[in-house]
Amino acid sequence: MNADIQPVANGRAPAWLRRQLSRPGSSLLSLASGGLALAILWIVADWLVLAAVPPFADPAACAEAAGACWPFWAEKSRFILFGTYPFDEQWRPMLVSLLLLGLSIATGQMAVSGRWPDIRLFAALWLAGMAASFVLMGGGVLSLVPVDANRWNGLPILLILSTIALALALPVGVLLALARYQTRHRLLHRAAGAYVEIMRGVPMVTLLFVGVFVLPLTLPRGIAIDPIVAVLIALVFFHAAYFAEDVRSGLMALPAGQHEAASSLGLGFWQTARLVLLPQAIERAMPALVNSTIGAYKDTSLVVILGLHDLSATARMAFSDVAWGNQALEAYVFVGAWFLISCAYLSWIGRRLAARAAKGRSRDLKASR
């Protein structure tokens, strides 16, 4: 061994350096990955800052610039966020966005910490937030100016259709999972199974078209349903089927003795499910539930095919302006940054929940010994 490396290998170096010297292949791969990451960061920094046009510069300079056009974001960011909603009333969609984001973040933090309020209070807060969102956006009450639903664009419509749909779909999915898990009532078991398989076998786009164009035809004469509400109903029933299978996978992973022990204590099915089965099943199914949540959140952008203008649609409308026709990249970077940050937060929640569950299982295993 080389004399310079000998002291390092003998322990007079940090543990990290000793590990790298003992695995040269891994070290080279790490160096290559680090170099690639630095190159990407340099390209991004050059485009965003070094070669970019400053926010308050002349927009005409964007035509010759090799970097980002910050004047586009300064001019169009509000339009991308709120679309054609009346300019003087845009405090309302901003408040709705903050309300739904606050409820979502608070729910994630409570899930990570494990400290939940009373379930009835928690459900009441979500229902109040949903009702307040529609009241603020639509107006017509409390001296709020009425705004047609066709002008609900951008971030608020994305959050309404994603967070509210997911918040309603999860309890429906839990009920479907319990109905399919139990075998005492065979008809209920088979009906839940048939529903889940049908929903999972039908493309979401098809279900959205059914919700918007077929559902109104089934209503009594004189009763109309707003397209946003119809889409919301379709999303709830579609995502509920996926949540149901995620929760059922957690139920099927539980030892049979859990149910038998609860029965021996005289607990009924609903008591057993609420106190014994569901807490453990949801913990085991959490990675799948987080994955389904992220997928459902991103898939909400498909509503653009129905004429509903979410964040990606308003971004396209922003660079459709003749004056900003060359700023498509800036528009989609704005949308991509939003989805990257929000999905990264959901992924972080999933990792924290998985780590907490693993820690809890390890603690229980040590206690059993």
pLDDT digits (tens, 9 = 90+) for 63-99: 888 889 999 999 999 999 999 999 999 999 999 999 9
Check whether residue 100 and residue 135 sit in a common domain: yes
Tokens of 312: 């990606």
Whether 203 and 302 map to the same domain: the answer is yes
Q: Looking at the structure, do residues 206 and 314 belong to the same domain, yes or no? A: yes
Q: Is 68 contained in some domain? A: no
59 falls within a domain: no
Does 87 share its domain with 26? no
Tell which residue, 273, 346, 362, has the closest CA to residue 105: 346
Q: Average pLDDT, stretch 156-163?
A: 93
Token pair 């898939």: residue = 299
Q: Same structural domain for residues 45 and 80?
A: no
Token pair belonging to 37: 């990451």
Residue 65 resides in a domain: no
Cα–Cα dist 162/155, whole Å = 10
Out of 120-134, 155-169, 188-202, 254-268, least confident range: 254-268
Which pLDDT belongs to residue 368? Answer: 61
46 or 6: whose pLDDT is higher?
A: 46
Torsion of CA 288, 294, 298, 303, to 10 degrees: 70
Nearest in space to 314 (alpha carbons), one of 329, 304, 325, 306: 304
| Same-domain pairing of 30 and 90 | no
Q: Which residues pair with 69 in a beta bridge?
A: 53
Structure tokens at 359: 């820690």
The residue with greater pLDDT, 198 or 277, is 198
Q: Are residues 34 and 174 in the same domain?
A: no
Q: What is the pLDDT of residue 19?
A: 64
pLDDT at residue 17 tops 70:
no
Residue 98 lies inside a defined structural domain of this protein? yes
The CATH number for 114's domain is 1.10.3720.10
CA dihedral (339, 173, 241, 165) in degrees, to 10, reads -40
Max mean pLDDT among 60-64, 109-113, 313-317, 360-364 falls in 313-317
pLDDT-based confidence at 333, cuts 50/70/90?
very high
Q: Phi first, then psi: give them for residue 69, nearest 5 degrees.
A: -100, 90
* Residue 62 located in a structural domain: no
The alpha carbon of residue 259 and the mean position of all alpha carbons in its chain are separated, in whole angstroms, by 32
The answer to whether position 64 is within a domain reads: no
Q: Which residue has the tokens 């903050």?
A: 98
- The answer to the question of residue 286 being in a domain is yes
Q: Are residues 30 and 168 in the same domain?
A: no
pTM: 0.84
E strand spans, 186-294: none
Judgement on whether residues 46 and 89 belong to the same structural domain of the protein: no
How far apart are alpha carbons 271 and 178 in whole angstroms?
12
* Conformation bin of residue 11: beta by default, left when phi > 0, alpha when psi is -120 to 50: left
Q: In whole angstroms, how far apart are CA 331 and each of 105, 162, 178, 300, 327?
A: 26, 21, 44, 18, 6
Specify whether 207 is located in the same domain as 105.
yes
Same domain membership, residue 278 and residue 316: yes
Q: Between 170 and 273, whose confidence is greater?
A: 170
Query: Could you tell me which residues come within 8 angstroms of residue 57 by beta carbon, excluding any fewer than 6 positions away?
Result: 70, 71
Pairwise CA distance, residues 48 & 119, whole Å: 45
Are residues 166 and 312 both part of a single domain?
yes
Domain count of the fold of the chain: 2
Domain span holding position 204: 73-368
Tracing tokens 């639509």 back to the chain, one arrives at 138
Residues in the chain: 369
- For residue 66, being part of any structural domain is answered with no
